[in-house]
């Protein structure tokens, strides 16, 4: 038995063990081909089956209606930050960006490079270090706006939209760190995108889900080919060589997710994990101090909290490691502890962390 740790890294992050074991079993001889899936032509039937299954599983798990296209691209969320304005901010179209954290700011800055003054801030909690999300009355969405961009889960700060911003404009949403954490109604979303390396698979694959009417707005013919969403949609994400192995792992992860009951079962696990972890933090409020100020905004994927001193924080990280738990050091600009509890982190994993935290308070509190 290999020695697997409990992985709380923020990204790339842990993957479900059965998805990795399946890859191990299939590695040298995929589907009787005598080759690994990395060594097969992306036009061959063996790879095609994986590609189609991955796309179909995204559709099935998320319950996507027929008027959405699913794309599997490269370049991470970062390339999507640029592709979105390059494709959509044409003919004087305007957009409002909701600033709720480090990644939302990056998306906004990239859009600004393309759209200039047509890219506006629709709300921001920067003045409060992004320790909460904007409240209902704080949004200023232009009536002339073509879409509203937001980040559903703020990976660095640990906030997460449970209810989405209220607007009649289509959403464009960076869901890199909480895609498929629960079922939700996609109908208000024009584009959903996510780098795979948190909840879906390895880095190198970007999932982009795009509604047909928004795809129709991507008419620009003067962009380099790879940057055009429409071309990828027409070619079923096989315009050029796709990240075949990454898509194969994504297939394994999604097939596993389906086998355990789909997003409803995953949501139940995630809520339980959040209850356990925040429960422990709140119980020891004199010792653990959460970064997020509004309980309703707390993320079920990234849990940021502080200990009384830097020295205790270092000890916490070191002792956790001795107890087989890695990736707990906070993001450099925030400090403290960040426990990332993506879908692959089990309820039992979080129970182990919580027991460790209880012990830690007893010894040091």
Ligand X SMILES: *Cc1c(COP(=O)(O)O)cnc(C)c1O
So which residues are the catalytic ones? 103, 174, 198
Rounded least distance, CB 198 to ligand X, Å = 6
For residue 9, the minimal CB distance to ligand X (Å) is 11
Tokens of 143: 């009536």
Least distance CB 134 / ligand X (angstroms)? 17
Smallest separation (angstroms) from ligand X to the CB of 106: 7
Residues written for the chain: 365
Report the 10 Å Cβ neighbour count for 202: 17
Nearest alpha carbon to residue 202 among 343, 9, 13, 4: 13
* Closest approach of ligand X to the CB of residue 284, in Å: 28
Full DSSP string of 171-235: EEEE-TTTTTSS----TTEEEEEEETTTTTSSTT-EEEEEEHHHHHT----SS-GGG-HHHHHHT
Nearer to ligand X, 189 or 356 (CB): 189
Alpha helices in 63-122 (DSSP H): 76-88, 102-115
Rounded Cα distance, 97 and 77, in Å: 16
Whose Cβ is closer to ligand X: residue 122's or residue 307's?
Answer: 122
| Residues contributing to the site for ligand X (CB under 6 A) | 11, 76-78, 103, 151, 155, 174, 176-177, 195, 198
**Rounded Cα–Cα distance for residues 295 and 293 (Å):** 6
Q: Are 119 and 142 in contact (CB under 8 A)?
A: no
Closest to ligand X by CB, 106 vs 258, is 106
Q: Within its chain, how far is the Cα of 1 from the centroid?
A: 30
Nearer of residues 80 and 119 to ligand X, judged by Cβ: 80
Judge whether 285 and 261 are in contact, CB under 8 Å: no
Nearer to ligand X, 86 or 357 (CB): 86
Residue 73 or 277: which CB sits closer to ligand X?
73
Report in angstroms how near the CB of residue 233 gets to ligand X at its nearest. 20
Q: Is 310 exposed, middle or buried (0-12, 13-18, 19+ CB in 10 A)?
A: exposed
Chain centroid to CA 19? 18
């Amino acid at each position: 038995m290999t020695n697997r740790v409990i992985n709380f890294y923020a990204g790339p992050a842990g993957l479900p063990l059965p998805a990795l074991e399946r890859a191990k079993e299939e590695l040298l001889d995929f589907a009787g081909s005598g080759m690994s899936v990395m060594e097969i032509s992306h036009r061959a039937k063996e790879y095609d089956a994986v590609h189609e299954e991955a796309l179909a599983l995204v559709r099935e798990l998320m319950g996507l209606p027929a008027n959405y296209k699913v794309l599997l691209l490269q370049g991470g969320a970062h390339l999507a930050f640029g592709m979105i304005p390059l494709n959509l901010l044409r003919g004087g179209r305007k957009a409002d960006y909701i600033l709720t954290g480090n990644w939302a700011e990056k998306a906004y800055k990239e859009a600004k490079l393309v759209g200039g003054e047509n890219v506006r801030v629709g709300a921001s909690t920067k003045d409060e270090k992004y320790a909460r999300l904007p409240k209902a009355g704080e949004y200023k969405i232009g009536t002339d706006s073509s879409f509203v961009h937001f980040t559903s889960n703020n990976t660095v700060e640990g906030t997460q939209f449970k209810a989405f911003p209220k607007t009649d404009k289509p959403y464009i949403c960076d869901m890199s760190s909480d895609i498929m954490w629960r079922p939700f109604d996609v109908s208000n979303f024009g584009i959903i995108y996510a780098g795979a390396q948190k909840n879906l698979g390895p880095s190198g694959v970007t999932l982009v889900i795009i509604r047909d009417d928004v795809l129709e707005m991507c008419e620009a013919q003067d962009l380099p080919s790879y940057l055009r969403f429409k071309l990828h949609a027409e070619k079923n994400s096989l315009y050029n060589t796709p990240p075949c192995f990454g898509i194969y792992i994504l297939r394994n992860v999604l097939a596993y997710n389906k086998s355990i009951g789909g997003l409803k079962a995953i949501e139940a696990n995630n809520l339980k994990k959040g209850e356990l972890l925040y429960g422990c933090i709140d119980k020891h409020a004199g010792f653990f101090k959460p970064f997020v100020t509004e309980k309703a905004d707390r993320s079920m994927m990234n849990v940021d909290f502080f200990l009384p001193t830097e020295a205790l924080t270092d000890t916490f990280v070191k002792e956790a490691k001795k107890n087989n738990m890695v990736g707990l050091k906070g993001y450099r600009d925030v400090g403290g502890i960040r426990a990332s509890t993506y879908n692959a982190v089990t309820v039992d994993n979080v129970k182990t962390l919580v027991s460790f935290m209880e012990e830690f308070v007893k010894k040091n509190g």
